[in-house]
Amino acid sequence: MAARDSGSRGFDLVFIAVLSGIVAGLFVFGAGFIYLNHISFFMPAQSRTTVFLNESLNQDVIVTSVFADLKDSVVHITTKGLENNSFEGPVPTRGQGSGVIIRSDGYIVTNAHVVSGAEDIEIGLSSGYVTSAQIIGTDPSTDIAVLKINAPFELKAAPLGDSNDLLPGQLVIAIGNPFGFQNTVTTGVISALNRTLRSSNNFNINGVIQTDAAVNPGNSGGPLLNSKGEVIGITTAIFSTLQGGFQAFQGIGFAVPINSIKEISNELIESGEVVRPWLGVTGMTVNSEVSEVLGVNVSEGVLIITVVEGGPADNAGIRGTVHDPSDPGFEPGDIILEMDGEATDTIDRLVEVILEHEIGSTVLIKYSREGVVHEVEVSLGQRPSG
């Protein structure tokens, strides 16, 4: 096999660096993995023993009260399914997670990855009552799912808070079923706000809450609560390292904010899916390094890698990249510069601008092809589910 030239290797390295960033840790997020740049925190030592003691006593009262009020709203989820094994064929699988009752008529919110691929779902309440559940809808793009159970008694719904009112340092409480240990409560603080995670289908989850409350496998889908006992988020991922072959919690957990969940869960309950506008392309951010490797005169924008056949971009004549840069006939795809007058200097910004529009709306896209700037109108379609 012939060796690639240095230009090809440069493109590959830039491509990987742009898409992945600097690898410094591993997120456990369903069956997928997410990477985040390393962040260091420093907190000066203080000598306020009396104040800390009083705060500790007050916190004990808050936590025990919140747990007593909310434990009946948190459920244990057990899933059963089949996974194809190349040697043994279909193999039975089991999974566990947590969920929270959001309506007294049986609607439950959890993570989409908790119920992904499940054929049977069993819900266990704190009282010991166990029943089956049906999936009302899932949204992998935000890792949220809504389930429904029918119980012969009224269920206790958890009160939902406002994630716009949160502050770093605020006390938070997590309730869930880590490793199958039901009704486990842990505490911590909000470490940071407005983090971004990448979902299993490569979609940005914005406004994510970071916490140091212990969150472990099995906590996924459980509530993150404030001191009033209101749900402010749904735990979805943990930052971990491997120790002795096991994933070890490192004091960094993440939760999808409740304000996003309110909107998503309502859509799932009403229609069974979340619909979003769609351009029908895959792409990567163009910066000065990528521009140099490609040999183009554009240093900011989104290089189109592939165009979905029959999709909105394809119908408008937008072109994707042809072949690998080391292959004969290589041609970089169109580079999108603006949409409706808004600069699209990164792939994430392009997605944000698309989401600002309605399905079926017409947008004006400015793009560069072979050094010449063009404009074209595109009618946005509906993003396929999954």
> Known catalytic residues?
113, 143, 220
User: Where does residue 2 rank: exposed (0-12), middle (13-18), buried (19+ CB within 10 A)?
Assistant: exposed
The single-letter DSSP state of residue 201 is T
Structure tokens at 360: 């079926």
Structure tokens at 284: 């990567």
Please state the separation of Cα 5 from the chain's center in Å. 37
Tell me how crowded residue 199 is: count the other CB atoms within 10 A of its CB: 23
Task: Please give the radius of gyration of the chain, using alpha carbons only, rounded to the nearest integer.
Answer: 24
Structure tokens at 66: 């919140």
In 102-261, beta strands by DSSP E? 107-110, 120-124, 130-132, 134-139, 144-148, 171-176, 184-198, 204-211, 223-225, 231-243, 246-257
User: Is the separation of the CB atoms in 184 and 127 below 8 Å?
Assistant: no
Q: Which one, of 347, 88, 78, lies nearest residue 221 by Cα? A: 78
Q: What CA–CA distance (Å, rounded) separates 376 from 380? A: 12
Structure tokens at 68: 């007593």
Q: What CA–CA distance (Å, rounded) separates 346 from 301? A: 6
Q: Both ends of the chain: CA-CA distance in Å?
A: 37
User: Is the separation of the CB atoms in 378 and 363 below 8 Å?
Assistant: yes
Write out the DSSP string of 308-327: -TTSHHHHTT----BS-TTS
Q: Which one, of 202, 298, 212, 309, lies nearest residue 254 by Cα? A: 212
Structure tokens at 386: 């999954």
- CA distances, 320 to each of 107, 117, 207, 219 (Å): 43, 32, 31, 41
Torsion angle of C-alpha atoms 281, 198, 106, 147, degrees rounded to 10: 60
